[in-house]
Amino acid sequence: MFTGIITDVGRVERIEKRGDTRFVIATRFDTATIEIGASIACSGPCLTVVDKGPGWFAVDASAETLTCTNLGRWEVGTAINLERALKVGDELGGHIVSGHVDGVARVVSITPEGDSQRWLFEAPKALAKYIAPKGSVALEGASLTVNEVDGARFGINLIPHTQAKTTFGARHPVTGAPMIDVDSPINVEIDVLARYVARLASGD
């Protein structure tokens, strides 16, 4: 389990095509404290550490994961939101996040609002009913609060701290272009409580 509070922004260092796809991710985490087999949320999906070394760890992604998330678009240099799994006694600063991506949304627009930014997203229609104003949603693994909803579209306000500490403000190390921009695909995990409330309300 995770909280959606991003604790490092890593980068894809190497991609190896095998039976599955192996991503080697550079990180500022102390990898000496990460066990092989540990779970790390990587821009949303919970992935298993299969190898590691000083300043890096490796994870494998199956064809299913590449299909159901935006990981198939990762390339060397891609910035990755990272969060290690919760430990008993850790502060739950965001909301309960499982690391199981429900779908891929799209960035519709990015509008400056003072020092903050208003991001408008369009979710898959099947997920729209689970997204509510003032509710929580995990985007690229980050716990965020929904400001407004209009059909399948919903708005999020990103304060400067969130921009600085997540991939929403990251830039490509070579080109300097934003890593996430209008039309970018975004991993979405809906709030598990919203899912259960909808299930109860439907009577299924």
Q: Each residue of 84-133: pLDDT tens digit?
A: 998 877 777 888 899 999 999 999 999 999 999 999 999 999 999 999 99
**Strand pairing partners for 22?**
16, 60
Whether the Cβ atoms of residue 27 and residue 33 lie closer than 8 Å to each other = no
The tokens for 119 are 């991001």
Q: pLDDT band for position 69 (50/70/90)? A: very high
What domains can you pick out in the chain, each with its CATH number?
Answer: 8-84 (2.40.30.20), 103-202 (2.40.30.20)
* All residues at 6 or more sequence positions from 136 whose CB lies less than 8 Å from its CB, including other chains: 4, 94, 95, 143, 144, 145, 146, 191
**Sign of torsion, CA 73 75 80 84?**
positive
- Tell me the C-alpha distance between 159 and 40, whole Å: 25
Long-range contacts of 171-177, Cβ-Cβ distance < 8 Å, separation of 24 or more:
172/77, 173/11, 173/77, 174/77
pLDDT mean over 8-15 = 98
Supply the pTM of this predicted model: 0.94
Query: Exposure of 63 by Cβ count < 10 A (0-12 exposed, 13-18 middle, 19+ buried)?
Result: exposed
pLDDT mean over 167-192 = 94
